[in-house]
């Protein structure tokens, strides 16, 4: 790529650069989305647009282009590393979504099937408690709804 490629990089927003930096560190769209409080589809859309804008054939190449551009700058910024708990979905950053993001993290179910996990016993216990609590709440809500319907028709 020529130096003409640095002009589109200069027009990227800080959020877009942050996403590309995380892509460069090897994080998936879902991990980036959890970290930034976005939908993974939003992250994918950002990445596709940035790759197209930078004329990069892949997300990895777009991230490399940003890294190369920033390495030529005087002051280099480094993104914060995502903690391991972030990968498990147990915790997340405080986001601008406020209570919606907090509720999503509170009621997030553990990942289902497909691949083995590397969660510790404490993280597995937390996921089990979450599922048990949500199941209890659902059964209680269903029982109350049935009782209400029976009261109406009796």
What is d(CA 70, CA 21) in angstroms, rounded to the nearest whole number? 10
The pLDDT value given to residue 95: 45
Over residues 43-48, mean pLDDT = 90
**What pLDDT, in 10s, does the model give residues 50-96?**
989 889 898 888 888 888 888 776 554 555 565 554 444 444 444 44
Q: Among residues 98, 103, 109, which one has the least CA distance to residue 132?
A: 109
| Integer CA distances (angstroms), 4 to 63, 118, 148, in order | 17, 44, 68
Q: Among residues 5, 121, 143, 147, which one has the least CA distance to residue 72?
A: 5
The pLDDT value given to residue 144: 95
Q: Global pTM?
A: 0.46
Over residues 10-27, mean pLDDT = 87
**What pLDDT, in 10s, does the model give residues 103-153?**
666 666 655 555 666 667 887 888 788 888 888 999 999 999 999 999 999
Burial class (CB in 10 A: 0-12, 13-18, 19+), 67: middle
**With bands split at pLDDT 50, 70 and 90, how would you rate the model's confidence at 14?**
confident
Over residues 5-11, mean pLDDT = 70
Residue corresponding to tokens 């919606």: 100
């Amino acid at each position: 790529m020529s130096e003409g490629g640095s002009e589109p990089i200069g027009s990227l927003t800080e959020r877009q650069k942050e996403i590309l930096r995380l892509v460069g560190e090897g994080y998936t769209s879902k991990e980036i989305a959890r970290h930034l409080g976005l939908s993974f589809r939003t992250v994918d859309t950002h990445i596709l647009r940035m790759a197209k804008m930078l004329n990069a054939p892949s997300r990895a190449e777009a991230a490399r282009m940003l890294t190369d551009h920033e390495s030529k700058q005087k002051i280099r910024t480094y993104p914060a590393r995502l903690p391991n708990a972030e990968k498990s979905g147990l915790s997340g950053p405080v986001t601008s979504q406020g209570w919606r993001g907090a509720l999503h993290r509170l009621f997030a179910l553990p990942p289902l099937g497909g691949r083995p996990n590397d969660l510790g016993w404490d993280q597995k216990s937390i996921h089990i408690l979450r599922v048990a609590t949500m199941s209890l709440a659902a059964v209680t809500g269903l029982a109350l709804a049935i009782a209400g319907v029976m009261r109406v028709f009796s």
